[in-house]
Amino acid sequence: MGAATAPSEPTAARETAIPCVLMRGGTSKGPFFNVGDLPSDPETRDRVLLAIMGSPDNRQIDGIGGADPLTSKVGIVGPSEREGVDIEFLFAQVSVDRALVDTTPNCGNMLAAVVPFALEQGLIEAPGNTTTARVLTLNTGMLANITVQTPGGILASDGDCQIDGVPGSHAPIAIDFLDIAGSVCDSMLPTGNVIDDIDGIPATCIDNGMPVVVLPAAAFGKTGYETRDELNADVDLKARLEQVRLKAGRMMGLGDVADKVVPKLTLVAAPRNGGAISTRTFIPKDCHASIGVLGAVSVATACMLPGSMPSSLARLSPTSPGRLSVEHPSGEFSVDLEVVNGLDGIEVKRAALLRTARKLFTGHVFIPATVWAGN
C-alpha cells in the first residue's frame, strides 16, 4: 500500500477565528468583541453575528447563543476619540429563531460588562482602587459613568454585591446614567400623554432609557404574579400583547416594530413583597426572567408620574420616594431616581443602580470563511 502524499498546494482556510470574550453582564450573557476584530460594514457584521450565535435556530445549536433572548446578546467595544468619552459600546440583540440583529435598543445589563472588558483588553487603564469610565452607547447616544473595583490596579470579580437572578455575590459595578430621557423615542413621553388608551386598555408609553409600554395585568385577565413559564405558555395572551405592542410602536413614533425588540411591554400589579410595583416584562414576545436594567428605570419613572397607569398601583416610600424596588419573577431590582419639577412636569435628572459582571471565558469563536474571511 503506497504512502499518502500531501497536496501540492495549500488549501484556503475554511474557518475564520475571531477573538472573543464571553461575559455575563447583570442577568444577561453574551460574547464581547473589540470593534476592530469585526467587519466595519454593518450588513457583513450582522451576518457574522448570526453565524457566531447560531441563528436562526431555536437551539442555536451551531453557535454559542444560549437559545434565550437573555443569552443571545452581543457587546462590541472600542476606544473613543470623542471629548469626554472613554469607551464606545454597541449593543446587538440577536434573534434566536430569526435572521435578525437589532441594534436599536440599549441594554443596561450588558452595559455592566463594558468597563471590565475594556480593562481586560487594555482599552483603558486602572488609575487606582476604583476605576470610573464614561461610556457612550452608540445605539442611542446614551452616556453613563460606570465605576468598577480595581484594588491595586487589578479588576476585582469577587465581592459582596448580590443581584436577584444571578447566583452568589460579586464585585459591585455602579452605573450612573446621564440624561436618558427619550433614549430611542423623541422624548420621555413620546405620545405626549401620561396615559393613553390602546384597544380600551390604559397604558403609559415611556422612554427613560428604554421604550416601554406599561399595562395593567388585570386588563389581560392576569394577576401580575404569574411565573414566567405560565405567561410564556399562554399563546393567546402573547398574541394580544403583540397587537398592543404594534399599535403602541406607531403611537410612540417608532413606526412598524414587527422586526424590532422595542418597545418592551410590562404588565404591572400592586407589589406584594415590600417593593414599589410588581412587574412581568416581555422582550418583546417572551416573558423576561427578571427585568432589564433600563426597562426597570423606565417603569420606576412611570410609577412616579402623577396620573400614570402604574401610579395608582405603586407604593412609594414616604422617606425615600426616589428609591424604588421593582419586583420581578426572580426577585427585585432597586433603582435610585433623582427627580425635579420642571416646566413640563417631572424631570429625571439622574438614574443610578448596581449590577455585577464576570468574564466567563476568553479565546476565539469560529465561523465559516464563506460568511467572512476576516480582516
Ordered structural domains, the chain, with CATH: 15-172+357-368 (3.10.310.10), 196-347 (3.10.310.10)
Pairwise CA distance, residues 110 & 74, whole Å:
8
Cell of 172: 459591585
Per-residue pLDDT tens for 73-103? 999 999 999 999 999 999 999 999 999 999 9
Pairwise CA distance, residues 1 & 37, whole Å:
47
Residue whose cell numbers read 465605576: 147
Q: What is the pLDDT of residue 3?
A: 54
Q: What is the pLDDT of residue 2?
A: 52
Q: How far apart, in Å, are the Cα atoms of 130 and each of 137, 161, 177, 326, 356? A: 22, 15, 18, 28, 15
On whether the CB atoms of residues 252 and 260 are closer than 8 A, the answer is no
Strands (E), 71-110: 73-79, 87-94, 101-102
Pairwise CA distance, residues 66 & 86, whole Å:
30
On whether the CB atoms of residues 112 and 26 are closer than 8 A, the answer is yes
For 102, list phi and psi in degrees, rounded to 5. Answer: -110, 120
Element (H, E) at 111: helix 108-111
Element (H, E) at 49: helix 42-53
> Furthest-apart CA pair in the chain: how many Å?
91
Q: What is the pLDDT of residue 344?
A: 66
Pairwise CA distance, residues 114 & 76, whole Å:
9
Q: Which of 91, 71, 90, 70 minimizes the C-alpha distance to 80?
A: 90
State the pTM of this model: 0.81
For 373, list phi and psi in degrees, rounded to 5. Answer: -90, 0
How many other C-beta atoms can be found within 10 angstroms of the C-beta atom of residue 240?
Answer: 16
Pairwise CA distance, residues 254 & 248, whole Å:
9
DSSP per position, 313-344: T----SS-TTEEEEEETTEEEEEEEEEEEETT
On whether the CB atoms of residues 240 and 282 are closer than 8 A, the answer is no
For the chain (375 residues), the mean pLDDT of every run of 10, in chain order, is 49 86 97 98 98 98 96 98 97 97 94 98 96 97 96 95 94 92 92 97 96 98 98 97 98 96 97 97 93 95 95 91 92 89 73 95 98 94
CA–CA–CA angle 37, 41, 45 (5° rounding): 60
